């Protein structure tokens, strides 16, 4: 569609570069984006409504972990942490460590795929394939630890469902060490490859001030030098005990977002190794009684950034309110602003550098 | 009863919420989390939620209780530009009347579905 030298270009809701249905309507002038309209409402699933009408609180977690295939364990963390606070339940240390292991493994496979997607849209399809190959190792570890490749459902109120045997711990260590070697090679590539740098450095720059002004979360904020991570600010699992450190960069572009994720992959592998090396002895679950009454606010760190949960119980089996604020939802206002002034040809890399999850956003 | 031990809770009104948030918010220190609503049947409770970049577990909640559905709720977009998405979502899911917030971002028009997060919906 044209009007003078303006061209309006629809991007999504289905597009070869988009992993999920979000729609952008770009108004461009000589390939430069002048305006953008965003539409996220293609797949709204009414999960918050279902959580307070269709399920008892003991079964809501099965629903919430289906908010997203990638970060299902984040939703399990947010919900269980909140419900356990409302029920005044103390989770055994061993269970907390097993939870933390699965949460970090989930972050690793999500980041590997997100970075692979960016590589693919800037022309490195072979690197995308290689990333998926490496990611397979993480999926194998997750299957070993939880029994499932996705939708792990290892959380239960008061603990976890499955323990780690010494044999599993050994195999996890072996696979993590192999994975670390492979991830170091990919880190070097993202860090030093000249052509990859040409296509990603300086693209869609987010300054520190802009990241703060738009309340960016996760790797997007950290790539612009904002030292924020709910694992540090709201430690819902014992991250303090295993030496967690926030990974930041200052460049604020597509390249920096990839590098932050790649640094986090390496750091999460180290954290996983420390978790299995220091796994406490003891029970993996505690008995739970009662019904949730009161309100609780919870923040957890999904691979894409801060995920917020609000839960309100009234002492009955069915909750009164479950609110989920996911990281992509928080980053969309910034993404919308960022397009202005960029080339249309960079739109794919910009979107994918945000690692958007519409499944979460329109939960 | 709110369980979080380190919550700073401010009861505000429709008339002063914007002014109170403006006085409080320092983007170097505070992270805007979201705006939340809970339907009470006939009215809603609205929370504007913030955290602190430097303090563990600390949250700040500005709350208005008993907001009738048709009352005009002030927008905070001029203080926090990214808040539009939460404001637009509340208009879709709770049918609230938020200043300058259009309907239709999250839910397409459907005559059979109106404000699905209200208890009577």
For the record, the structure tokens of B38 come out as 């809970």
CB within 8 Å: A321 and B81: no
Residue A256 has a pLDDT of 95
**Per-residue pLDDT tens digits for B8-17:** 999 999 999 9
A333 found inside a domain? no
CB within 8 Å: A297 and B4: yes
A347 found inside a domain? no
**Euclidean distance between the first and final Cα of chain B, in Å?**
26
CB within 8 Å: B27 and A48: no
Distance from C-alpha of A301 to C-alpha of A99, rounded to nearest angstrom = 13
* Average per-residue pLDDT for chain B: 90
A343 found inside a domain? no
CB within 8 Å: A333 and B57: no
Mutate: best of A88, A215, A228, A334, partner B, most B CBs <10 A: A215
Task: Check: CB of residue A264 under 8 Å from CB of residue A107.
Answer: yes
Q: Among residues of chain B, what percentage have pLDDT more than 90?
A: 65
Categorize the per-residue pLDDT at B5 as very low, low, confident or very high, splitting at 50, 70 and 90. Answer: confident
Task: Check: CB of residue A325 under 8 Å from CB of residue A97.
Answer: no
Task: Check: CB of residue A305 under 8 Å from CB of residue A317.
Answer: no
Longest dimension (CA), chain B: 46
Lowest mean pLDDT segment, chosen from A10-19, A82-91, A119-128, A202-211: A10-19
Does A56 contact B at CB distance below 8 Å?
Answer: no
Lowest mean pLDDT segment, chosen from A10-19, A293-302, B65-74: A10-19
Instruction: State mean pLDDT over A42-56.
Output: 85
Q: How many CB atoms lie within 10 A of CB A3?
A: 8
- Phi, then psi, of A334 in degrees rounded to 5: -70, -45
> What is residue B39's three-state secondary structure?
strand
Residue A2 has a pLDDT of 53
Domain ranges of chain B: 7-98
Output Rg (C-alpha) for chain B, integer angstroms.
15
- CB contacts, 8 Å: A321 with chain B: 38-39
- CB contacts, 8 Å: B38 with chain A: 312, 320-321
Q: How many CB atoms lie within 10 A of CB A21?
A: 17
pLDDT exceeds cutoff 90 at A166: yes
**CA–CA min distance B27, chain A (Å):** 6
CB within 8 Å: A40 and B105: yes
Q: Which helix (H) or strand (E) holds B19?
A: helix B17-24
**Per-residue pLDDT tens digits for A234-264:** 999 999 999 999 999 999 999 999 999 999 9
**Cα dist. B56→A100, A231, A311 in Å?**
19, 10, 20
CB within 8 Å: A297 and B52: no
Q: Which domain holds residue A66?
A: 47-327
Categorize the per-residue pLDDT at A112 as very low, low, confident or very high, splitting at 50, 70 and 90. Answer: very high
- Phi, then psi, of A59 in degrees rounded to 5: -110, -5
For the record, the structure tokens of A216 come out as 């960016």
B7-98 maps to CATH 3.30.460.80: yes
ipTM above 0.90, yes or no: yes
**Per-residue pLDDT tens digits for A95-109:** 999 999 999 999 999
Task: Check: CB of residue B64 under 8 Å from CB of residue B36.
Answer: no
Residue A358 has a pLDDT of 72
CB within 8 Å: A213 and B32: no
For the record, the structure tokens of A309 come out as 């949960």
Q: Which residue in the set A41, A48, A330 is minimally distant from B105, CB to CB? A: A41
Q: How many CB atoms lie within 10 A of CB A13?
A: 17
A341 found inside a domain? no
Distance from C-alpha of B106 to C-alpha of B117, rounded to nearest angstrom = 13
Does A45 contact B at CB distance below 8 Å?
Answer: no
Instruction: State mean pLDDT over A24-36.
Output: 89
Q: CATH number, domain at A63?
A: 1.10.645.10
A207 found inside a domain? yes
For the record, the structure tokens of A121 come out as 């849209």
CB within 8 Å: B116 and A49: yes
Categorize the per-residue pLDDT at A160 as very low, low, confident or very high, splitting at 50, 70 and 90. Answer: very high
In terms of DSSP H, where are the helices of chain A? Answer: 47-51, 60-64, 72-86, 93-121, 125-146, 166-192, 194-200, 208-213, 218-222, 230-233, 254-277, 327-339, 347-353, 358-361
Does A336 contact B at CB distance below 8 Å?
Answer: no
Q: How many domains does chain A have?
A: 1
Please enumerate residues of B whose Cβ is less than 8 A from a Cβ of A: 1-4, 7, 27-28, 31-34, 36, 38-39, 47, 49, 51-53, 55-57, 59, 61, 80-82, 84-86, 92-93, 104-108, 116-117
CB within 8 Å: B34 and A232: no
* Average per-residue pLDDT for chain A: 90
Residue A3 has a pLDDT of 57
């Amino acid at each position: 569609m044209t009007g003078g030298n303006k061209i309006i270009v629809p991007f999504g809701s289905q597009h070869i570069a988009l992993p999920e249905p979000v729609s952008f309507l770009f108004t461009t002038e000589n390939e430069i984006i002048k305006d953008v309209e965003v539409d996220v409402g293609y797949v709204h699933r009414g999960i918050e409504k279902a959580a307070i009408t269709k399920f008892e609180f003991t079964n809501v977690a099965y629903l919430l972990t289906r908010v997203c295939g990638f970060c299902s364990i984040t939703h399990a963390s947010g919900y269980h942490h909140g419900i356990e606070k409302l029920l005044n339940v103390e989770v055994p240390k061993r269970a907390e460590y097993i939870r933390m292991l699965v949460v970090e493994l989930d972050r690793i496979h999500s980041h590997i795929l997100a970075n692979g997607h960016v590589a693919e849209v800037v022309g490195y399809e072979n690197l995308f394939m290689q990333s998926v190959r490496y990611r397979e190792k993480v999926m194998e570890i997750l299957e070993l630890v939880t029994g499932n490749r996705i939708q792990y459902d290892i959380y239960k109120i008061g603990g976890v469902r499955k323990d780690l045997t010494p044999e599993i711990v050994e195999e996890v260590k072996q696979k993590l060490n192999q994975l670390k070697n492979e991830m170091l090679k990919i880190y070097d590539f993202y860090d030093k490859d000249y052509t990859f740098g040409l296509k990603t450095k300086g693209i869609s720059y987010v300054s520190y001030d802009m990241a703060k002004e738009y309340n960016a979360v996760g790797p997007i904020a950290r790539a612009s030098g904002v030292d924020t991570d709910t694992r540090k600010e709201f430690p819902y699992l014992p991250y303090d005990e295993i030496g967690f450190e926030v990974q930041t960069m200052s460049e604020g572009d597509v390249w920096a977002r990839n590098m932050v994720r790649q640094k986090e992959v390496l750091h999460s592998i180290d954290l996983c190794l420390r978790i299995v090396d220091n796994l406490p002895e003891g029970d993996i679950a505690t008995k739970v009684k009662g019904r949730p009454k009161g309100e609780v606010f919870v923040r957890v760190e999904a691979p894409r950034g801060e995920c917020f949960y609000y839960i309100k119980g009234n002492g009955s089996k069915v909750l009164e309110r479950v609110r989920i604020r996911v990281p992509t939802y928080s980053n969309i206002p910034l993404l919308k602003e960022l397009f202005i002034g960029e080339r249309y040809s960079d739109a794919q890399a910009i979107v994918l550098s945000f690692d958007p999850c519409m499944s979460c956003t329109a939960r | 009863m709110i369980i979080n031990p380190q919550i700073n809770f401010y009861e505000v009104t429709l008339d002063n919420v914007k002014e109170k948030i403006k006085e409080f918010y320092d983007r170097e220190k505070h992270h805007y989390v979201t705006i939340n609503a809970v339907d009470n049947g006939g009215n809603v409770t609205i929370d504007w939620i913030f955290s602190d970049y430097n303090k563990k577990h600390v949250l700040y909640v500005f709350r208005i209780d008993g907001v009738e559905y048709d009352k005009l709720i002030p927008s905070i977009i001029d203080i926090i530009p990214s808040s539009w998405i939460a404001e637009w979502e509340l208009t879709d899911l709770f049918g609230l009347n938020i200043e300058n917030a259009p309907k239709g971002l999250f839910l397409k028009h459907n005559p059979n579905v109106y404000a699905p997060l209200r208890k009577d919906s």
